[in-house]
Every structure is written in C-alpha cells, then in structure tokens.
Copies of this chain bind each other. A is one copy, B any other.
Amino acid sequence: MTTDLSDAPLRLTFLGTGDAAQTPAYGCHCPACERARRDESRRRRPCSALLEAGGQRYLIDSGLTDLAERFPAGSLDGILQTHYHADHAQGLLHLRWGKGAPLPVLGPPDPEGFADLYKHPGPLDFSNPFQAFERRALGQHRKPGGQIFVTAILLAHSKITFGYLIEYGERKLAYLTDTSGLPDESKTFLQQFRLDALILDCTHPPTAPDAPARPQNHNDLTRALADAHAIAPAKTCLTHISHTLDAWLEHHPLPDNSPPATSFAYDGLALEYSNSRQCV
C-alpha cells in the first residue's frame, strides 16, 4: 500500500549555519564564540541542511560528523553536495566504511573530490554528478508524491561548487553556498524565477568595495545583500555565517537597504511551504 504524499509540505531545515571555523571557533574568545560556549543554541555547526518533500529526504552537504546517528542507513534518499571542501564533506569519511544500499551523492563533477573518498567510496555512489545548469528529477518513480526537481547553479568559489534550485510543485527555493558573488549566467538564470526563498552565503561582515582584502571565496554582507536585491526573492535567509560576522552583528543591525524579509539563519531553523503557494 502506498500513501499519496503529493500534498506533503516542502521543508528545509538548517542543520548547520557556520563557516569552516564554526562558532565557537577553536581557541577563539570573541564575544560570539564565548556566547556560543555558554548557550548551545548559538552554536553554528558546519553549513548543511535537510530537504524533505514528497516523502523524500535529501541532505544538502555532509560536513556534520555525526551523520550515522542523525541519519541511520535507509533514512536518506541521497545527498546533494555543493562541493568537496572538508567542512562540507567531512561526514562522508565515516559513512563510506558502512554497509547497505548505495547512497547517491550528487555533486559537481570534481575530479579530486575530498581526501580518498573516491578511492574507497563504500556505499556512497558518486557516479552521477550534476553538470552546471542541469535540471534533474530526484528519486523519480521511487516514492509516490510530489516530484522534486533540482537544477545545479554554478557558483564562484575556490573549487568547483554548485548551488541548487529546488522546485517542488509551485514552490522554488535556491540554496547557494559557498560563493563570492554569482557568475553572470547564474544570476541571470535565477532572475527568471520568483523564489519563495533564497538561501545565500554570507560569511563575512561588510567590507568596502574598494577594500584591499575583500573576501575572495565567500560573500560579505554587502555582496550578499546586493545579490539578494538582484534576484528579488520573497524571502532571503543568510547562512554560512562566521563568528566574526556574529560578533559584528552584536553591535550592528541589518542595513536599511536590505531586501524585505531578510534574516540570518540559525541551526535548527526550518522553512516550510505547502506544495501550492500558501505558507503552511
């Protein structure tokens, strides 16, 4: 017997909203790190999320190192991998020594991958990477319910990296980390859509556009807000947040020129949408 899941909501839960250093960072005594040591709810773990819709569950990035406990074998349909830096892929190092059905890891076609994952993949199946701007139905015919479509969006990072446009019924989300600005073709592509939510890299506090050391691999707040303006989603959630930005935010509000409905994500935050354009 099967259950009709076509009316099941689309849910995206932020499992981690930190940068590579996480908050608290090892050995750091800035106000944001000290606060996170006192108050577990202010921690920021490796940037990752859980996507649930139509009876399917996909992890977005695998930098958490307790994936076996959070997601016992069989509880995930696959992993959407933005790229293969350690803070986004480290959790795979344990899973690959496990057993069971193949677990698809769908990421960019990165010939290096991370560490020796490709050499010893175990149950992890890296054989079907996305190509840039490829649109793919996830888990087609596997379970009843609304279909999830995912398009790989090329990002601007130090290693080949994709964000993902997620479409589910009338709903559209874009999840874009790690990136410093957006390639023109990606921005133009995303501007076609009226996104329900844009989830966007915002690692650093604002730096002046002419600053000598403007971040090269991640957005600062200025650049993130500019791209959010350009894409004009209904809602913007900023993530991949460094402890430096958290400390800055203790004394600075969001700039007045921020797009409407802009906020900072936190670990555990869930965005939930019905299959049609009515918020649950």
Contacts and interface: CB of A to CB of B under 8 A. Distances in A.
Interface in A83-106: 86-87, 90, 93-95, 97-100
Contact of A22 (B67, B87, B94): B94
How many copies, total? 2
A80 interface: no
Interface in A229-265: none
B73 A27 contact: yes
Give the one of A20, A26, A66, A93 with max B CB within 10 A.
A26
A99 B25 CA distance: 8
Given A73-B27, A87-B93, A21 B116 contact: no
B68 A100 contact: no
A115 interface: yes
Contacts of A67: 26
A71 B114 CA distance: 26
Give the one of A20, A72, A86 with max B CB within 10 A.
A86
A158 to B, nearest CB: 10
Interface string A3-28: 00000000000000000111011111
Contacts of A169: none
Closest 7 A/B residue pairs (Cβ): A26-B98, A27-B73, A27-B100, A21-B97, A65-B65, A27-B98, A26-B68
B115 A26 contact: no
Given A86-B116, A114-B115, A115-B115, A95 B65 contact: no
Nearest to A101: B27
B65 A99 contact: no
Contacts of A98: 21, 25-28
A102 B249 CA distance: 29
Give the one of A74, A98, A116 with max B CB within 10 A.
A98
Contacts of A139: none
A123 interface: yes
A115 B100 contact: no
8 contacts: A21-B94, A25-B97, A26-B94, A26-B97, A26-B98, A26-B100, A28-B98, A86-B115
